[in-house]
Amino acid sequence: MAKKLIAAAIVLFFFSLCETAAFAHHSFSAEFDRAQPVKVTGVVRKVEWTNPHIWYYVEGTDEVSGREAVWGFSGASPNNLRRQGISREALKIGDTVIVEGFLARDGSANASGGRVTFADGRRVFTASAEDARPD
């Protein structure tokens, strides 16, 4: 009987860890404002290809507001992007890109990374499937 109680306690402990991770993930609407689109043209300065979401940073100007900054764009998970055929080599430091997405609710120079258009005209969608898509 004691072995079953210990096993049950261990299982409950691991479920509690999973529950914490689920609460740590925020919805698109909690972080970004779909009423505030951004369209940044600039140069990729940094790419963080890590879970739970990739982040990439583009030094450039938002065509909507005219704001110049190093913009941080949140994308989907690395695994989600790989399933879409987007590898970690797709975004390279020094690439000139146009990124369309939605501004962070806190007003910082962060946004959802929706559509990315490369200098050669190629386009990819880097956000999660449940995120809002730029028109």
What are the extents of the domains in the chain? 28-125
Each residue of 31-88: pLDDT tens digit? 899 999 999 999 999 999 999 999 999 999 999 899 999 999 999 999 999 998 899 9
Class of domain 28-125: mainly beta
Confidence check: pLDDT of 2 > 90: no
Say which residue, 15 or 81, is predicted with more confidence: 81
At residue 105, what are phi and psi to the nearest 5 degrees?
Answer: -60, -25
b/e per residue 52-67 (b: at least 16 CB within 10 A): ebbebbbebbbeeeee
Residue 22 pLDDT class (50, 70, 90 cuts): very low
Spatial distance between the Cα atoms of 102 and 52, rounded to a whole number of angstroms: 19
Confidence check: pLDDT of 15 > 60: no
